[in-house]
């Protein structure tokens, strides 16, 4: 009787608390194209992103913006907004991670940033310089929001370009749909660490290997 | 007396289990939600994996993405408005299954109070309607009339959000206060040997007094009427309800129940419900705001308004479903507790107290940023 009762309580508590476990769907979607910038010595100096926002968010972002010509949004008109964008992105580590082996590279403040308005969509372009240029055999780049507030998708065509990379560098792109592991997770293989970074499996992963 | 002592201990244990279960669920909710700044890779596994939640998220994202296309199409083709409304409705249904939209608050409120399913439905629909109305007002006044920027609108949203969370917390505090007194009253009564007497808890409100007395009178059925008479003195203000009570007694003879719905709908009843509606409904859905602004940019503001209200209708249906589950969950708990000696009054008061605490914690958590519903987009 008591067991039944406490079961009912747990059920009830579950129903009440459940909605907070679920996550909201992303209200912003971004199609990402990036360039990996190399120095002449073959080290990576930074990443240049061009992020295209979805039309709903773009319309929202430019609402009420003062422009010289009505309906035309120039880079200059959008400059204050671009500033707000890069400033707020800092808090989210630019939704970008770069790993050389086990080491996580650190980024400096973004440079050369601007917004453009093309086909009713905003495109944010900015360069993330690496604090220390990375000269590694393998660099793994990920663009995603682990909280899934912003849905990042890699562009279909050439999501990453290697600019000035040594000839022996090869690029491999992994999109979430492709990288979804086929195996089922058991508690055991979850706990023994093999799948400790399970969530990262769903990230947009770009691997550059230089042999 | 020994039996009574045992039953007293047992009910305390059950109340403790209830409290632990509730707080565990809450802690789980707190831990599962991370503020924007602290990325947790595990979080993305949750929504990308299959299962019901994964499916819900996939569906709502799909409908959300289709919305802009439907608004565009409606510009040239009037019949596309029907498609837009259909998508909006489905989006509302699926979207409300995610965080926000007051499911947790409304459900907890319904459990904390002796609420009927009918009131649960009214509360859910009214708060969803208010949510839609606030979204339309923000965009209508902000974007259409004043042509403010997204940044200004977003700040407005944030202020409204904070006010809404503060209201939920205040509302929860009030519930905790009244339900806490009810719980302590039930505890004292249990300790003093189960004899209900108004003198024991002089500070208790009328509604509670009679609620407790009812539970009791039913459990000790043979004492029922005596207890009732005893209370008629204390509940003068409710004299006009006595007829109803007697009626319900006859109908559900032997059943344990709290105050009747119209007793709650009486003094402070509906106005208390109104508090829940405002606290929950004040905060608009970010999705609706984006759709409205997009519709405005396309020169089809009215289509956005229609879509927003239809979205609210879909939301209301989902919230209602969850609220009804909460109400029947409590009904089940009550039936299970009714078999116990003392009618499980203490258990029920404990459950209500726990639910009241949940409203307070939800409000406080949202206000202080430990919990996040849908984040307002300002960037």
Domains detected in chain A: 24-210 (2.70.170)
> A8–B322: do the CB atoms touch at under 8 Å?
no
A55 closest CB neighbour out of B39, B294, B371: B294
State the smallest CA–CA distance between residue B232 and chain A in angstroms. 32
Average pLDDT of the segment spanning A29-39: 93
User: Which pLDDT belongs to residue B126?
Assistant: 92
| Chain position carrying tokens 């409205």 | B292
How far apart (Å, rounded) are the C-alpha atoms in residues A98 and A104? 6
Number of neighbours of residue B1 by Cβ within 10 angstroms: 6
Mean pLDDT confidence for A76-101: 90
List the one residue out of A13, A22, A23, A21 whose CA is nearest residue B325.
A13
Q: Which residue has the higher pLDDT, A45 or B7?
A: A45
Question: How much is the pLDDT for B110?
Answer: 85
Looking at chain B from residue 6 to 25, which residues have their Cβ under 8 Å from any Cβ of chain A? 10, 13-14, 17-18, 21-22, 24-25
Q: How many residues are listed for chain B in this entry?
A: 379
CB neighbours (10 Å) of residue A175? 16
Is the minimum CB–CB distance between B311 and chain A shorter than 8 Å?
no
Residue B153, min C-alpha distance to chain A (Å): 9
- Which chain A residues have a beta carbon less than 8 Å from that of B46? 21, 23
CA distance B14 to B344: 10
Tens of each residue's pLDDT in chain B, 379 residues: 454 544 444 444 444 444 444 444 444 443 333 222 222 333 333 334 456 767 777 777 788 888 888 998 888 888 888 999 999 999 998 888 766 667 888 888 888 887 788 888 888 999 999 999 999 999 999 888 888 888 888 888 888 888 888 998 888 898 888 888 888 888 887 777 654 444 333 333 344 433 333 433 333 344 434 444 444 444 444 434 443 333 333 333 233 333 344 444 444 466 777 888 888 888 888 888 989 999 998 889 999 999 999 999 999 999 999 888 888 888 888 888 777 666 677 788 888 888 888 888 888 888 877 665 555 556 5
* A residues 22-61 closer than 8 Å to B (CB): 22-29, 54-57, 59-61
ipTM: 0.72
From the list B14, B107, B377, the residue facing A2 with the nearest CB is B14
Q: What is the pLDDT of residues A128-185, one digit of tens each?
A: 999 999 888 899 999 988 777 788 889 988 899 999 888 888 898 887 754 444 444 4
| Diameter over CA atoms, chain B | 80
Chain A nearest-CA residue for B299: A59
Residue B373: the pLDDT is: 58
- Let me know if A147 is exposed, middle or buried by CB neighbors in 10 A (0-12, 13-18, 19+): buried
- Residue B89's pLDDT is 94
B348 vs A contacts (CB less than 8 Å): none
Question: Residues of B numbered 240-299 whose beta carbons fall under 8 angstroms of chain A's beta carbons: which are they?
Answer: 286-287, 289-291, 293-294, 296-298
- The tokens for B109 are 């409120």
| CB–CB contact B25 A91 (8 Å) | no
For B180, the token pair is 């806490």
Distance CA B104, CA A12 (A): 11
Torsions phi, psi for A173 (to 5 deg): -110, 135
Residues in CB range of B31: below 8 A, 6 or more apart: none
- In angstroms, the CA B294 to CA B289 distance is 9
Whether A13 and B296 lie within 8 Å, measured CB to CB:
no
Nearest C-alpha in B relative to A57: B290
User: Residue B51: its pLDDT value, please?
Assistant: 66
A63 near B CB under 8 A: yes
What pLDDT does residue A24 have? Answer: 57
Q: How many CA atoms lie within 13 A of A35 on its CB side?
A: 11
Could you tell me whether strands A150-154 and A28-38 are parallel, antiparallel, or unpaired per DSSP bridges?
Answer: parallel
Q: Is the pLDDT of residue A35 over 60?
A: yes
Structure tokens at A118: 């093309």
Specify the pairing of strand A121-134 against strand A138-143. unpaired
Q: How far is B47 from chain A (nearest CA, A)?
A: 7
Instruction: Please give the Cα distance from B217 to B338 (Å, whole number).
Output: 12
Take residue B307 and report the two structure tokens written for it: 């879509």
B336–A8 C-beta distance less than 8 A: yes
DSSP A107: B
Cα–Cα distance, B293 to B336 (Å, whole number): 51
CA distance B43 to B298: 35
Chain B window 322-351: which residues touch A at a Cβ cutoff of 8 Å? 322, 325-326, 329-330, 332-333, 336-337, 339-340, 347, 351
Q: What is the pLDDT of residue B62?
A: 82
Q: Domain residue spans in chain B?
A: 2-33+103-368
Q: What six digits make up the tokens of B287?
A: 């999705």
Structure tokens at A90: 């800092």
CB B288 within 8 A of CB B114: no
Question: A 104-143 residues with CB below 8 A of B?
Answer: none
Contacts of B165 (CB under 8 A, 6+ apart): B283, B363, B366, B367
Indicate the pairing of strand A160-163 with strand A28-38: parallel
Q: Which residues of A touch B356 (CB under 8 A)?
A: none
Would strands A204-210 and A169-174 be described as parallel, antiparallel, or unpaired?
antiparallel
For A9-18, write each residue's pLDDT tens digit: 554 454 444 3
Q: Which residue of B has its CA nearest to A21?
A: B29
Q: In what order do the strands lie in the sheet with A204-210?
A: A103-104, A96-100, A138-143, A204-210, A169-174
Look up residue B245 and give its two tokens.
């009570």
- Cβ–Cβ below 8 Å for A27 and B286: yes
Residue A82: the pLDDT is 92
What is the structure's pLDDT at A196? 44
């Amino acid at each position: 009787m008591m067991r039944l009762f406490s079961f009912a309580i747990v059920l009830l508590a579950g129903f009440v608390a459940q909605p907070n476990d679920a996550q909201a769907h992303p209200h912003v979607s971004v199609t990402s194209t990036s360039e990996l910038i190399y120095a002449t010595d073959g080290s990576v100096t930074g990443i240049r992103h061009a992020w295209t926002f979805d039309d709903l968010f773009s319309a929202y972002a430019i609402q009420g913006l003062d422009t010289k010509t009505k309906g035309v949004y120039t880079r200059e008109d959008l400059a204050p907004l671009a500033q707000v964008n890069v400033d707020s992105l800092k808090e989210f580590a630019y939704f970008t991670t770069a790993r050389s082996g086990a080491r996580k590279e650190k980024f400096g403040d973004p440079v050369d940033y601007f917004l453009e308005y093309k086909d009713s969509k905003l495109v944010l372009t900015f360069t993330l310089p690496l604090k220390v240029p990375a000269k590694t055999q393998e660099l793994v780049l990920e663009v995603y929001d682990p909280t899934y507030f912003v849905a990042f998708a890699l562009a279909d065509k050439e999501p990453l370009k290697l600019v000035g990379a040594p000839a022996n560098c090869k690029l491999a792109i992994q999109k979430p749909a492709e990288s979804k592991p086929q195996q089922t997770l058991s508690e055991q293989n979850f706990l023994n660490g093999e799948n400790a970074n399970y969530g990262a499996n769903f990230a947009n992963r770009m691997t550059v290997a230089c042999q | 007396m020994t039996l009574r002592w045992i039953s007293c201990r047992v009910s305390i244990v059950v109340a403790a289990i209830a409290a632990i279960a509730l707080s565990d669920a809450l802690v789980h909710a707190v831990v599962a939600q991370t503020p924007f700044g602290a990325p947790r890779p595990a979080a993305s596994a949750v929504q990308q994996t299959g299962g019901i939640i994964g499916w819900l998220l996939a569906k709502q994202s799909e409908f959300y993405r289709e919305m802009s296309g439907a608004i565009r199409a409606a510009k040239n083709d009037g019949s596309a408005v029907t498609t837009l409304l259909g998508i909006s409705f489905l989006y509302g249904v699926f979207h409300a299954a995610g965080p926000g939209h007051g499911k947790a608050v409304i459900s907890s409120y319904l459990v904390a109070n002796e609420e009927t399913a009918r009131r649960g439905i009214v509360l859910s629909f009214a708060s969803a309607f208010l949510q839609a109305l606030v979204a339309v007002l923000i965009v209508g006044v902000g974007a259409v009339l004043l042509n403010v920027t997204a940044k200004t609108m977003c700040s407005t949203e944030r202020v409204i959000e904070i006010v809404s969370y503060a209201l939920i917390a205040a509302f929860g505090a009030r519930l905790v206060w009244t339900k806490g007194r009810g719980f302590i009253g039930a505890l004292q009564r249990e300790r003093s040997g189960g004899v209900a007497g108004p003198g024991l808890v002089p500070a208790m409100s009328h509604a509670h007094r009679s609620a407790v007395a009812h539970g009791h009178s039913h459990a000790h059925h043979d004492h029922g009427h005596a207890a009732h008479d005893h209370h008629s003195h204390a509940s003068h203000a409710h004299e006009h309800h006595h007829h109803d009570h007697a009626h319900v007694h006859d109908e559900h003879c032997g059943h344990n129940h709290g105050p009747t719905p119209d007793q709650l709908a009486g003094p402070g009843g509906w106005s208390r419900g109104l508090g829940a509606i405002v606290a929950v409904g004040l905060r608009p859905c970010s999705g609706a705001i984006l759709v409205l602004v997009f519709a405005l940019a396309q020169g089809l503001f009215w289509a956005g308004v229609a879509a927003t209200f239809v979205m609210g209708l879909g939301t209301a249906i989902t919230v209602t479903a969850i609220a009804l589950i909460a109400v029947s969950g409590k009904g089940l708990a009550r039936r299970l507790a009714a078999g116990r000696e003392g009618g499980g009054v203490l258990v029920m008061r404990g459950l209500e107290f726990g639910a009241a605490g949940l409203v307070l914690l939800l409000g406080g958590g949202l206000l202080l940023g430990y919990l996040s519903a849908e984040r307002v987009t300002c960037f």
